[in-house]
Structure 1
């Protein structure tokens, strides 16, 4: 299983239920990497999508503790265990924070967009650079949009 997330220099990922910043090229990369694959997300993350609808060209698996929650065009699971049984090995965990936290142990590859700035935030992702379980396997050159510098880092779980 994979995960994909954008983090700032403090490994922050969000504030008030939204991403810290939207980078056009990063969104294109997200679309390219996840299209045709299964994506795993929480109910609150789904609500941030246009119209609160599942992503097109992807199988959307929603993790929700609400037993009555339904989303047209998506499959809803009440537990990580049930969801993992149905997820493809090449699925992408796409957020939010609690979904990342619960599914990180199942992931072998992490596609991280590292933003070279700090933002006010209330939600963080574990710092993979400080983890003995993860190593950097690929790193891009620095990119920039609207004065914001960032680069892509791929991490692999150490077996």
Structure 2
């Protein structure tokens, strides 16, 4: 399984329930990488999508503790175990975890690849992703050249579980 995440230089991912920044090239990469695959997200992340609608061309899996929560065109699971059981029927390389924080924390042990958009900037944030550079479990295996979006510098990094 894969994780797609955007982090700042301190591995921050959000503040007060919002993304830190929206970079068009990062959004394009998410579309391209996940099209035809399976995306897994929490309810709060799902409700930030345009129109609160499942993303087209993908199987959308939403985790919610609310047993009555339903979304037309998506699969709703109520626990990590239930979602892992559902995902067994698909090739693990086609599964992408897209957030939020608690979903990342739950699924990280089951993933072998993290695609991180790494922003060379420090935001005010209250939510962080584990620092894979300091983890003994992950290796940086690829990094793009530096890109810019207005005054932000960022790169795309790939980490593999050792």
TM range (shorter): over 0.9
Hey, what does 2:59 align to over in structure 1? Answer: 59
| Correspondent of 1:133 among 134, 137, 151 | 137
Q: TM-score, normalization: structure 2?
A: 0.96
Q: Where do residues 2-151 of structure 1 align in structure 2 (5 Å cutoff)? A: 2-87=2-87, 88=90, 89-90=92-93, 91-151=95-155
Rounded Cα–Cα distance in structure 2 between residues aligned with 1:115 and 1:52: 27
Q: What stretches of structure 2 of length at least 5 have no aligned partner?
A: none
Rounded Cα–Cα distance in structure 2 between residues aligned with 1:69 and 1:120: 32
| Per-residue Cα deviation, 1:72-97 (whole angstroms, up to 9, x for no partner) | 11001111011011113120000000
Q: TM-score, normalization: structure 1?
A: 0.97
| Aligned positions, number | 158
List 4+ stretches of structure 1 deviating above 2 A.
none
Q: What stretches of structure 1 of length at least 5 have no aligned partner?
A: none
